[in-house]
Amino acid sequence: MEKKKFAVIGGGWSGLYALKYLLEEKLDARLYERESNLGGVWLYKEAQGGVYQSTHVTSSKTYLHASDFPLPDETPHFPKHDQVLAYLNSYANHFNLWSHIHFECDIRKIEKGRDNQWKVTLRCNGKEIKEVFDGLVIATGQHQIANDLRHVEPFDQFTGTTSHSISYKKPDDRIHRDKTILIVGGGETASDLAVELSTFARRIYMSIRGGQWFQERLFGDQPADLLFPKSFGFFGLYDNVWAKIGWTLFIRPFWGEGGTGISEWKPRCQLFHGFLNKSRDVVHKVASGTVIPKRKINNIKEQLVIFDDEKKAVHIDHILFCTGYRWSHSFLDDNFEKETNVEFLYQLIFPVNLPNLAFVGSARPIFGSIPSLAELQARRIAQVFSGRDFLPSATNMSIWLKKYWKRHAQLYPFEARLPQLVNQFEYADLLANELKIKPRLWKLFFSQPRKWYTIYFESPWSPFLFRMNAIETEEEKLAYLRHVNCIPRRDQVFFSFTLEIQ
C-alpha cells in the first residue's frame, strides 16, 4: 500500500511542532513555508507582517519551552524575537526537520479531491506545482490578515493618516515624530507601541473601547505568570477563592481596578473572564502624561475625534490600529470558509465534516502562550492522523461544540472578537486527557509524595508536565528536573507551604 502523504502549511512555531510530531508517528510529512526562513511571525523582515524591531515575548520562557527541548539556560525571562528565532532553528536542527521543509512555497489554493484527499496548488521558486495529500495541517497562525477598521464607521470619516500594527516596524519620523497619535486597541501590541512611540510623538491617546485587564509582567524580579501552581485550580479555574484573595489583597490595593486603577480602562468582565494584557508598562506612561487613556470613540469629523462621555474634540494626526487580526485562510476553497471557521472546529482543531484537515496554533490563552498549546494540538493531530486514536462521529462533535460555545459565552461574555480564547490550564488538560499524558498525580501521591507536593503546590505550569507520567523512566525523571527548574524562589510565591517529606 502506498504511504499516505501529509502537508503542513506554515513554518512558524506551530508548523514546526506539527511537522515534528507527524514525523514521529512515521508519517510521510513535509512543511511548506512562504518565506525563505523559518519563524513565521517571529521572522523579522522589513516587509509587512511579522514582528517589529523591539518585539519581546509577553509570556515568560517557562511557557515557551518545547516539552522535550527546553530553551537554553541563558535565555532571559522574556526573550527578544531574534532569540526566539534562534531557538526555532535549533529545534529544527535537533529533530532533523530541515530535509522535510520546503521554503519559498506559497500556497495558492486548496481544494477537495477524490477519496477525501486534498489538491494543493503551490508556487515554489516561481513555478506552479500541484500536489495531492491525504491530510493537511494549517499552521499559518492567527496574525496574517489585519482587522483593518479604516473603512468602518466612524473611522471612515477620518482625513488624517492611518496604519495598522501589521505594517509597524519602528518609529517613523514622517508618520510619528511630533505627531498626535491615536492608538486604537487594548492588547499587548497597542500597549507596547504606545510606550515606544511616546518618546517620538507629541502625545499619544490610547482608546480601549470596552476596558481591559492588565497584569504586571514581573513580581519582584521574576515572571508573574509563574506564581500560580496547579493547586490554584483546585476550587475552579475562574472564580475560585485564591483568585478572590489575590484580587482583594494584592491586585486592587497595589495595582488598582483592572490592574491599572485607570477608570477609562476599567474592564467590563471579572478577572480571568477576559484576555489579560501583560504589557503594563503603559501605565507608567499614563502617570507621566505622555499617554492619555480613553474609552470608546463616539464620533470623528475629519481629524477631530470625540471620545465617550466627552464633548470636546481632540485633534489627531495619525490613527494606529492595533485591532488584531481576522481568522481567514484565503487559500482555502470558498466552500470550506464556514466549515473552517474557528467556531466549527472540534477542540479548536478539527473541522467537523473535514476530519483529515486540522489547525494548530488556533487557541489563544487568557494568560500563557500560544506555542505551549500548539505543541499539545500538534501531538493530538499526529495521534489522530496516524490512526492511534479516532475522532467522535460528526454528530457527537457537533454536540460537543454546542456545549462548548454555550459555556464559552458564559465565561467570556465580552470577548466576541476572540472566540479562540481559552484558559491555559483547562485547555491543556483537555488535550492531555485525550493524549493520556497528564502526570499520574494520584499514583505520585502514594509512591513519591514529595514530588507530588512539588508539582501540585510549589511549581508553576510548564510543558514538561506532559512528559512526566509517573516519573519512573529516565526520560520522565529528566522532564521532572526541567519542570522543577521553573519554580520561582520561595520568597516570591503567593502561597507557600512548608512540607518536609522524604
Q: 404, 430, 456: which is the final residue of a domain?
A: 430
In this structure, is residue 256 part of a structural domain?
Answer: yes
- Across 279-292, average pLDDT: 95
Confidence of residue 492 (pLDDT cuts 50, 70, 90): low
Confidence of residue 495 (pLDDT cuts 50, 70, 90): very low
- Across 261-275, average pLDDT: 91
pLDDT one-digit tens code per residue, 417-452: 889 999 999 999 999 999 999 999 999 999 999 999
In this predicted structure, what is the pLDDT of residue 309? 80
Q: Are residues 152 and 277 in the same domain?
A: yes
pLDDT one-digit tens code per residue, 36-81: 999 999 999 998 888 999 999 999 999 999 999 999 999 999 999 9
pTM of the model: 0.94
In this predicted structure, what is the pLDDT of residue 502? 36
Is the confidence at residue 407, as pLDDT, over 70? yes
Q: Are residues 248 and 310 in the same domain?
A: yes
In this structure, is residue 386 part of a structural domain?
Answer: yes
Q: 278, 305, 325: which is the final residue of a domain?
A: 325
Q: Which residue has the higher pLDDT, 411 or 248?
A: 411
In this structure, is residue 319 part of a structural domain?
Answer: yes
Is the confidence at residue 246, as pLDDT, over 80? no
Q: Which residue has the higher pLDDT, 271 or 399?
A: 399
Q: Are residues 178 and 320 in the same domain?
A: yes
Q: Are residues 238 and 167 in the same domain?
A: yes
**C-alpha dist (Å) from residue 122 to 104, 129, 416, 431:** 10, 5, 34, 32
Is the confidence at residue 228, as pLDDT, over 70? yes
In this predicted structure, what is the pLDDT of residue 365? 94
Which stretch of 141-155, 218-232, 254-268, 365-379 has the lowest confidence by average pLDDT?
Answer: 218-232
Is the confidence at residue 235, as pLDDT, over 80? no
pLDDT one-digit tens code per residue, 439-488: 999 999 999 999 999 998 889 999 999 999 999 999 999 999 999 999 98
Q: Are residues 64 and 21 in the same domain?
A: yes
- Across 206-215, average pLDDT: 94
In this predicted structure, what is the pLDDT of residue 488? 84
Q: Which residue has the higher pLDDT, 170 or 244?
A: 170
Q: State percent of the chain over pLDDT 90.
A: 76
In this predicted structure, what is the pLDDT of residue 490? 67
Is the confidence at residue 321, as pLDDT, over 70? yes
Confidence of residue 113 (pLDDT cuts 50, 70, 90): confident
Q: Are residues 241 and 312 in the same domain?
A: yes
Q: Which residue has the higher pLDDT, 119 or 116?
A: 119
Q: What mean pLDDT, rounded, does the chain reach?
A: 91
Contacts of 489-494 with CB under 8 Å at 24 or more apart are 489/222, 491/220, 492/219, 492/220, 492/221, 492/222, 492/227, 493/227, 493/229, 493/458, 494/227, 494/228, 494/242, 494/246, 494/250
In this structure, is residue 332 part of a structural domain?
Answer: yes
pLDDT one-digit tens code per residue, 323-382: 999 888 888 887 888 889 999 999 999 999 998 999 999 999 998 999 999 999 999 999
Contacts of 15 (CB under 8 A, 6+ apart): 8, 9, 31, 33, 40, 137, 139, 360, 361
In this predicted structure, what is the pLDDT of residue 234? 66
Q: 325, 354, 380: which is the final residue of a domain?
A: 325
Cell, residue 68:
522535550
In this structure, is residue 23 part of a structural domain?
Answer: yes
In this structure, is residue 435 part of a structural domain?
Answer: no
Q: Are residues 280 and 383 in the same domain?
A: no
Cβ-in-10-Å burial (0-12, 13-18, 19+) of 257 comes to: middle
pLDDT one-digit tens code per residue, 148-207: 999 999 999 999 999 999 999 999 999 999 999 999 999 999 999 999 999 999 999 999
In this predicted structure, what is the pLDDT of residue 499? 40
Total domain count, the chain: 3
Nearest-CA neighbor of 217 among 226, 228, 209? 226
* Helical axes 13-24 vs 81-94, angle rounded to 10°: 10
Q: Are residues 139 and 200 in the same domain?
A: no
What does the DSSP 8-state code read for residue 388?
Answer: S
In this predicted structure, what is the pLDDT of residue 496? 45
Q: Are residues 225 and 101 in the same domain?
A: no
Query: What is the three-state SS of 6-63?
Result: EEEECCCHHHHHHHHHHHHCCCEEEEECCCCCCCHHHCCCCCCCCCCCCCECCCCHHH
In this predicted structure, what is the pLDDT of residue 327? 86
Q: Are residues 318 and 170 in the same domain?
A: yes
**Domain CATH number, residue 407:** 3.50.50.60
**Which residue segment(s) compose the domain that 300 sits in?**
145-325
Q: Are residues 466 and 411 in the same domain?
A: no
Q: Are residues 237 and 269 in the same domain?
A: yes
Is the confidence at residue 312, as pLDDT, over 80? yes
